[in-house]
Structure 1
């Protein structure tokens, strides 16, 4: 092939490629976008509660320099604790609680130090005893029964009531509702901003979650009427679920 025609062919190919490259660069130019962040809060009335309580027994206090706790004393304390635990479970079952809704925790054993009786002729001495502790959790699916179950725990002689925690039987449904509410709020904000600026919303280009669901149970409250009457009225309040999203739209004139 002659040299001159080949050079002409090469030059023609380059001239043809330049407009195509220009079109590609123009197509890759970023389009204007509208970025919106929105948060939503959902107040949900709880439909489930968990009561937490503890039983414990102690061995007689002895001087720390003495031998370890008497095995018989430890066994007797444990037997007393198991008897009380069985009585507590019976009390709850009589109150209508299913066995599967009662969680009897593991037994824990720990030393306790208490001051010995003061004597005028000796220094103040510390004594040691062993405490056997067993926690209980009771799930309540009907909150109307809550006062009755608290009375049952009190009648069973629990040593400590560790409180009531409220929850939702279907957390996923509540989380989905909060997320949809946040997305709807984001779209409302975007449409409002677009109208104010005289532009139109295009396709959604990005959606992301900015806040994971946060459960914030409120403490139960007692009404003024209940305090005056002396009868407890338990109100769980609401569980607050918060959701946050970030959404981007293309915009045009």
Structure 2
């Protein structure tokens, strides 16, 4: 006795299974509703350290401009000796004011010609003059801002030719940048919860997050001149605050509330 099955029921069953799989896949791939939020935050931080920038320079006597030289070798050597003597005196003055030697950085010697306006000689003729300027820059790291006025006094008393300014900074920049980023994320969460409550939906898991603006740290510069303290022995130096800004984009899944 033989039993034969019609292929039609088998084909119908296969089609039903395939249709069910396609429908399930379509449901699984259906995009979820989401809420996208952008937020920014600014953190104002009080500096806790500073850098003083100053310069010393010496000049050779002016001489008639020639094609082969711009200064007398002996005058150049004497100017350099004077500059090095003043530099040593400056470092000693700062150490007496309580600074450690490693916090004082003396830059490389810079030598450059200076061309002066033509001078009138006794015979009425004009003569082109030139001289050489030798310069040494200094950077002083200050970790106790309360001592800043004393150090500025020491620089002035040491006879610096230029005070280029004070740059205020933070000892731990990373911690401040992290705090700014956390504030931006908290702001994004607050905005998302406010929008969800207003729209009557519930926040699901976070499905995406990115930085729109990485925390940017810019030290604060305060310019001044070498005579900034003349006539104001009790002047105060207020560092103000340094602003750090951060921005983020965050996405949440959302669904209607029951």
**C-alpha distance in structure 1 between counterparts of 2:63 and 2:11, whole Å:** 104
**C-alpha distance in structure 2 between counterparts of 1:170 and 1:206, whole Å:** 29
After superposition, residues 192-207 of structure 1 pair within 5 angstroms as 192-207=194-209
After superposition, residues 130-149 of structure 1 pair within 5 angstroms as 130-149=132-151
**C-alpha distance in structure 2 between counterparts of 1:144 and 1:75, whole Å:** 40
SS state at 2:119 partner: coil
**C-alpha distance in structure 2 between counterparts of 1:7 and 1:83, whole Å:** 108
- 2:226 maps to what in 1? none
Aligned with residue 234 of structure 1, among 234, 237, 243: 237
**C-alpha distance in structure 1 between counterparts of 2:30 and 2:166, whole Å:** 58
SS state at 1:117 partner: strand
Question: Residue 174 and residue 30 in structure 1: after superposition, are their counterparts in 2 closer, same or farther (change >3 A)?
Answer: same
**C-alpha distance in structure 1 between counterparts of 2:231 and 2:138, whole Å:** 31
- 2:211 maps to what in 1? 209
**C-alpha distance in structure 2 between counterparts of 1:139 and 1:182, whole Å:** 32
Matched, 1:122 2:136: no
After superposition, residues 135-174 of structure 1 pair within 5 angstroms as 135-174=137-176
* Conserved 8 A contact 1:48-1:166: yes
SS state at 1:73 partner: helix
* Conserved 8 A contact 1:39-1:242: yes
Q: Which runs of 5+ in 1 are unaligned?
A: none
How much has 1:73 moved relative to structure 2?
1.6
> TM-score w.r.t. structure 2 length?
0.87
Question: CA offsets per residue over residues 57-105 of structure 1, 9 Å max, x none?
Answer: 1112222225322222211111111111111100000000111111111
**C-alpha distance in structure 2 between counterparts of 1:33 and 1:82, whole Å:** 69
Q: Could you list the structure 1 runs, at least 4 aligned residues long, displaced by more than 6 angstroms after superposition.
A: 226-229
Question: CA offsets per residue over residues 183-242 of structure 1, 9 Å max, x none?
Answer: 111101100000000000000011111112233455659xxxx99976211101011111
Question: CA offsets per residue over residues 19-59 of structure 1, 9 Å max, x none?
Answer: 20221122111111111111111111100000000011111
* Conserved 8 A contact 2:165-2:222: no
Aligned residues: 246
- 1:21 maps to what in 2? 22
* Conserved 8 A contact 1:53-1:136: yes
Q: Which runs of 5+ in 2 are unaligned?
A: 224-228
After superposition, residues 47-62 of structure 1 pair within 5 angstroms as 47-62=48-63
